């Protein structure tokens, strides 16, 4: 593993019963790199993302994140590891409907001993960067799709992660809003040096990435 490798998956396979969704995939992401995983629907890219981020355990193979082998970690160890090192952005935003924008951003900090003021300060600062400073008290139901995704991005950044996993982050957005979200992700990668592994089925979006990995039928094509 090179010094600059933040994430590596080696010979990863995932089976659901007899169905092998990911077949012996190996890949690495370097620090500050923006990698796009591209492929048609059902090719196994979301499953691969789940394996690499520690949301799911592989049937075979190893995953190392920030130099730590995570495939053997317990569920709680993985949760703590994710809390400290990883950010997630989902297609469906996955905001908690009863919490305001800033509380959603601060969600990963809730289990940590910290004053509410400190949580709010950090969340508000990030929402300001996402140009949502005026929406901090709004519930998700009062936000547009683009605003929700920007809240989700802020949530992914609250713990200063080394890598962000984004699963079709523009999938539920119109093209204009999708471009704006991609602009934010590019800015993050360039200005903050955060590594990003993004799954998409849109080639056009993948063009902005440093590297593009194509998947087909559970295997990496290029």
Partner 1 sequence: MNLRYMTKELYYQKRRTLMSILGLSIGIALLIVLNSLSLAYRQAAHVPLKEIGADITVQRSGDVPKDLAGAVFPCSAVTIRKEEVEKIQKLPGVRGIGTGLLLWVFDPNRAWIVLGIEKENSIGPSLLRSSVTEGRFLEEGKPEALVEQAYARQFGIRLNDTISVADKKFPVVGFVDASRAAKIAVANVYLPLKEAEDLAASSKELQSVSPYAPGDVNLLFIKADQEKITSLASEMKGILGNKATVATPDSFLKLLGSLFALSDKFTLAASLIAIIVAVLIAFKTMAGNIAERAREIGVLKAVGWTNRNVVSQLMSESIIQCFMAGILGLLIALVAAYGLSFMKVNIPIPWEMSPTPHFLPGGGDQIFKTLRLPVHVPWNLAFFAILLSIIIGGMTGGLLGRHISKIKPSEVLRHE
Q: By rule CB under 8 A, what count of residues binds partner 1? A: 34
For residues 147 and 9, what is the distance between their CA atoms, to the nearest angstrom? Answer: 33
Helices (H) and strands (E) counted in the chain, each on its own, are 7, 10
Integer angstrom CA distances of residue 82 from 55, 134, 170, 186? 9, 29, 23, 22
Nearest partner of 9 among 207, 197, 216, judged by Cα: 197
**Per-residue x/- mask for partner 1, residues 158 to 187, rule CB under 8 A?**
-x-------xx--x----------------
Among 37, 63, 65, 88, binds partner 1 (CB under 8 A): 88
Cβ of residue 49: shortest distance to partner 1, in angstroms? 9
The smaller minimum CB distance to partner 1, of residues 29 and 86, is found at 86
Helical (H) or strand (E) element with 129: helix 116-129
- Asked if residue 37 lies in contact with residue 25, where contact means CB atoms within 8 angstroms, the answer is no
Contact between 94 and partner 1 by CB under 8 A: the answer reads yes
When asked if residue 91 is in the footprint of partner 1 (CB under 8 A), the reply is yes
Q: Which is nearer to partner 1, 111 or 190 (CB)?
A: 111
x-or-dash pattern for partner 1, window 17-46, by CB under 8 A?
A: -----------------------------x
SS3 36: strand
Written as six digits, the tokens of 19 are 């169905």
Q: Please report whether residue 97 would count as binding partner 1 according to CB under 8 A.
A: yes
144 counts as binding partner 1 under rule CB under 8 A: no
* 220 DSSP β-pair partners: 215
The answer to the question of residue 8 lying near partner 1 (CB under 8 A) is no
Place of tokens 């890949």: 27
Q: Which stretch binds partner 1 (CB under 8 A): 28-36, 107-115, 176-184, 206-214?
A: 107-115
Q: What is the DSSP code (8-state) at residue 190?
A: I
Strands 211-216 and 219-220: antiparallel
Closest approach, Cβ 109 to partner 1, in A, equals: 9
The size of the chain, in residues, is 222
Give contact residues for partner 1 (rule: CB under 8 A). Answer: 46-47, 50, 55-56, 75-76, 79-80, 82-84, 86, 88, 90-92, 94, 96-99, 103, 107-108, 110-111, 116, 139, 155, 159, 167-168, 171
């Amino acid at each position: 593993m090179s010094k600059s490798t933040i994430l590596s998956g080696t010979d990863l396979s995932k089976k659901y019963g007899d169905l092998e969704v990911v077949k012996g995939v190996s890949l690495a992401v370097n620090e500050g790199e923006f990698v796009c995983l591209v492929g048609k629907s059902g090719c196994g890219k979301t499953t691969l993302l789940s394996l690499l981020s520690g949301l799911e355990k592989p049937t075979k193979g190893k995953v190392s994140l920030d130099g730590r082998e995570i495939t053997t970690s317990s569920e709680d160890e993985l949760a703590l590891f994710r809390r400290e090192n990883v950010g997630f952005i989902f297609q469906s935003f996955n905001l908690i409907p009863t919490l305001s924008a800033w509380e959603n951003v601060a969600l990963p900090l809730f289990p940590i001993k910290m004053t509410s003021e400190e949580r709010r300060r950090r969340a508000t600062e990030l929402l300001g960067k996402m140009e949502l400073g005026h929406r901090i008290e709004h519930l998700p139901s009062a936000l547009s799709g683009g605003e929700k995704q920007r809240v989700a991005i802020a949530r992914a950044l609250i713990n200063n992660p080394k890598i962000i996993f984004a699963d079709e982050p523009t999938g539920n957005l119109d093209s204009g809003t999708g471009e704006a979200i991609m602009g934010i992700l590019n800015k993050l990668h360039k200005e903050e040096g955060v590594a990003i592994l993004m799954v998409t089925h849109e080639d056009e979006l993948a063009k902005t990435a440093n590297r593009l990995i194509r998947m087909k039928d559970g295997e990496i094509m290029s």
